[in-house]
Every structure is written in C-alpha cells, then in structure tokens.
A and B are shown apart, each in its own frame.
Chain A
Amino acid sequence: MARVENKVVLLSGGASGIGAATARLVVREGGKAVLADRDEAKGRALAQELGEAAQFIPLDVTDEAAWAKAVAATVEIFGGLHGLLNAAGVGVRNSIEDCTLEEYRRVNDINSMGTFLGCKHAIPAMAKTIKEKGGAGSIVNISSVLGLRGASYAMAYCASKGAVRSLTKNVALHCAQLKYGIRCNSVHPGYIDTPMIAPRLSATVDNMSGKQWLEELHPLGRLGQAEEVANMILFLLSDESGFSTGSEFVCDGGLTA
C-alpha cells in the first residue's frame, strides 16, 4: 500500500536524522520528497540514493528568500505541494544564567522562526495545489518533549520548542477557518539517536555515560530511532490522520508519562 501516493512533501532538515528517515519513508510509500537542508553534500547524496522521486534543494531555514525559492522549486519540479515537514533544528545546551542574547536569538531563529517561515511559504502553494488538483495537505512541525516539559539545561531550546507547539495550533486554526484543506500538527520526540544528540552520548553525566543517562530517562529504557518518529510523521502527512489538526503527537518512550 502506498500511503502517500503522489503526495509532494518538502522536508526541512531532510538530509539527516528525523528528516532523512521521513524522506526515505515518503519515497517508499509512493510520495515525492524534496530534501531541503544546509548540508548540501549529505542532502544530494541521499536524494541521489532515493532516485527520481527525490530532489535536493539548499535551504537555510532562517532565510525567507530561500524558503520562497525552495517552495517554488518544489512546485516546478513535482507540479504541486501537499506536505511540509519542519524538521530542521538545533539542540543547544544552555541555562538562563549562561545563555547570551545572541545565542537565544540564534536558537529561536532556527527552531521557531524557521518553522514560521516554512508554514508561511508552504501554505499558499499547498492551498493552490489542493484547489486545482484536489487532495489534502498536511504540515508537521517538529517540537520536542522539551516543548511540553522544561529542562534546566536547555533554556533557549525549551523556549523555541514551546513556540513551535503554540504556533502549530494557530496555523491549524487559520487553515481550518479558511477551509484550505491543510492540517497542521506538532510532533514531540524524546531523545532520538540522531546527529543532533551525538555530542551528548559521549559526555559523562552523574558518573555514567551520556548515552546511558539519556536512555534511563525514558521508561522504555532506550533512545528512540529516527524511523520510529518518521512512522508517526508519515501517518500525519498521510490522509490516514485526516481528522487530526492542531494536536500534539508525542513519541517519547514514555518520557513525559
């Protein structure tokens, strides 16, 4: 069964981690994936591996002009846009005392403003595709368990992911009120075994390895895999989740339970 047959999905952060795992799944399930990322080498390599159903577009999510270009290129290459995954993000450790204003702004620009710009530019293209060709659209924004709960060591990250959580509901209601046929939901992963947390795995915390410390945080006793989050995202991108919008989807091995 092709679950996203012929759906065109634009994925920020599509070159690695959760974005890359989702791109693989989208292609496997009959969709088209546009990998938008700052990492050209990785992104091009993955697009090539995935074949004709995938393309790479360079994207810095904090650059509005780059978003406009990425959306336009997606529509030009694949003839429309049905799905957007805002997966690009940075994980930064800082506290209220050691975070500088510059760092606070950088983290919020990438994680929060980047998601805002992605939604802003994808919505008109998605609405146009749906109006002209029918079907339905879906936006998935990657927040975090730290958009639900606080962490002393990730102040700016918490703020940025809390912003994504609230922004998602605003976008969902906007699209619903205007009857665009576009849904918008946030996904809240626990600690997932991706390049974002790699530096933390090798660190030592409370006399144990960072990896063990992070694993023990989760009632399931392990880190999540990018594919496990991608499975949830694919459900949200597909029409299987047609009645879900403005909601928080948690994939965290029981962490927030």
Chain B
Amino acid sequence: MSELSGQVAIVTGGVSGIGAATVTLLAEAGAAVVVADIQPAAKEAPGRFVKHDVASEDSWKALLADVLGRDGRLDILVNNAGITGGWGTIETTTVEQWRRIEAVDSEGVFLGCKYAIEGMKKTGPQKSASKGSIVNVSSVAALIGSAGPTAYCAAKGAVRLLSKSVALYCAEKKYGIRCNSVHPGGVDTPIFNPLWQAMGHEQGRAMLGAHHPIGDMADPEDLGQLILWLASDRAAFVTGAELVADGGLTSGLSRRGLFGTR
C-alpha cells in the first residue's frame, strides 16, 4: 500500500510550478489529489482539476463542499498559490498592488487554513495517528528583505507567523492537524517567465542560480519532495516549523538578493 493511500489532498496553484510537482508526487504516493487553480487545467496532468480563486471566500466554500462531496474527506492542504505582483519597492508599490498581493498571498492562505480545518475536522481521524497536514508555501522573502518585492515580503512574513498560530491552535484543540511553512529560494517555475523571456531560460537560471551558494536554482520537484514529506506521517512531530529549501541562500552573508542588485 502506498504511503498516502486513502488520503485526499488539495493543492492550490497546482497547475504549474511547485504546485504541479507536488500534485505529481502526492498522486504517486497514493493520494487522491484535487488540483485547485485559477489557471486552466494542464493536459494529461494527474489529479482532479477544480477551478478555484484562493482570494475568494465563496470559492473556498465551494471547493470544500465539492471535495467533501466527491472525495468524502480531506487530509492534506498545500497552500501553494501565490503571486509576486510585479517588482514594487517600498516607494513604488501602490495600495492597489498591496491589496492584490495581500488578497492572494496572505488572505488566500488564511482562508485555506480556515476552511481546510473545518473540512478535516468533519471527516474524522484517518487510520494513522495523523488527521491532517497543512503546508503553507511562504518564501525566503519572509526571512530576508532582499528576496522579493515589498508587498510580497510582507505577505510571506504574514504566512510565516500565521502558520505558527494555526499550528499551536490545532495542537491545543487536539485536532491532530499539523501546520508548517516552507521557504523556497529561487525555483525554476513560471513565476520567472518574464525573466526567461528577457534573457533566455538557460542564462536566466544560471544568473539566479549563482545567487545561491549551491550554485543553481531548485527544480519544482525539490520543493515537492519537502512538501510531500511534511504532508506525510513521517513528519508527525513537525508542526509550527519553518522549513527552508533555498540552496543555502539565507544561511550566509550574501549581499545579493534573489532578484539581483540595483
């Protein structure tokens, strides 16, 4: 029997990037995966696609009703959907941009946790000790100020602390639901498409890769493996933690951020 047989997972932003890699790995581990994305479904991808806007509370209600109705339970939520929302600095970011990034990156994760907990509670204990795992994809931008646009840093910082609050709350209530944040460095995903278009994929990846002590960017699967581990019972004692997978980006005295220097 596969590790996640009988379990149901939702992955937001599951059509591309880290989300798509996570969907594949969760499905390979035996989970029934719901791919929740605002983008159209990819062809021949694993999982069941459901159109979903993480910034909309109604969309979350509909998604949970759909998943509980069709799949009968919920065990894993990966709050992966996110936007960088352009390259705004503290001086150039507008309130409109701030609100858009907050809505997707921060409020979207809040709503996901809130409705997933409701769903996980309703569907009761798994055969295993674990009842549920929530994985919130934050960023190294929550840890260091050079790794993202201003509003993105703020929103990812919110996700970092929100995850701890959720973890502690679920622990106190003895729900058996764990919640952790994941902090990727540069990952070769469509989030960098503008850069790939500007300088070519190979050169762009080499340039960003050079910012990481390990000398390369991550592939989406690298993050997918970490998320799979957190989702599984192998991480049964891990909650409220910040797991960094950044090729060493935040471990040393790097002057240069992920998005380069001015």
Contacts and interface: CB of A to CB of B under 8 A. Distances in A.
A96 B113 contact: yes
A225 to B, nearest CB: 25
A165 B141 CA distance: 11
A33 B218 CA distance: 49
A123 B91 contact: yes
Nearest to B156: A166
A159 B169 CA distance: 14
Contact of A150 (B89, B102, B153, B240): B240
Contacts of A41: none
Given A162-B142, A178-B262, A152 B154 contact: no
Interface in B102-124: 102, 106-107, 110-111, 113-114, 117-118
A163 B110 contact: no
B90 interface: yes
A113 to B, nearest CB: 6
**Most interface-central of A123, A155, A162, A167 (chain B CB within 10 A):** A162
B224 interface: no
A161 B165 CA distance: 12
B95 A163 contact: no
B146 interface: yes
B117 A158 contact: no
Contact of A158 (B98, B165, B172): B165
A257 interface: no
A146 B165 CA distance: 9
A207 interface: no
Contacts of B160: 162, 166
Contacts of B171: 152
Contact of B145 (A96, A146, A159, A166): A166
A133 interface: no
Contact of A174 (B91, B98, B110): B91
A173 B259 CA distance: 13
A129 to B, nearest CB: 15
Given A167-B153, A177-B261, A146 B161 contact: yes
Interface in B123-175: 141-146, 148, 150-151, 153-172
B145 A158 contact: no
B219 interface: no
B148 to A, nearest CB: 7
A112 B262 contact: no
A116 to B, nearest CB: 6
A44 to B, nearest CB: 28
Contacts of B150: 116, 167, 170-171, 174
B90 A170 contact: yes
A3 B161 CA distance: 35
Nearest to B175: A97
Contact of A152 (B57, B90, B169, B261): B169
A147 interface: yes
B95 A147 contact: no
Nearest to A175: B90
A97 B111 CA distance: 10
A117 interface: yes
**Most interface-central of B102, B155, B157 (chain A CB within 10 A):** B157
A149 B162 CA distance: 10
Contacts of A150: 161, 163-168, 240
B142 A166 contact: yes
Contacts of A116: 90, 93, 98, 150-151, 154
Contact of B166 (A96, A113, A165, A175): A96
A95 interface: yes
Nearest to B145: A169
**Most interface-central of B93, B155, B161, B257 (chain A CB within 10 A):** B161
Nearest to A166: B157
Interface of A: 64, 95-97, 99, 101, 104-105, 108, 112-113, 116-117, 119-120, 123-124, 146-147, 149-156, 158-175, 177-178, 246
A-B CB proximity, top 8 nearest = A150-B164, A166-B157, A169-B145, A162-B161, A152-B169, A170-B145, A159-B158, A152-B168
8 contacts: A150-B167, A155-B165, A166-B156, A167-B154, A169-B144, A173-B145, A175-B90, A177-B262
Given A169-B153, A174-B90, 5 more contacts: A105-B102, A108-B158, A159-B162, A162-B142, A162-B158
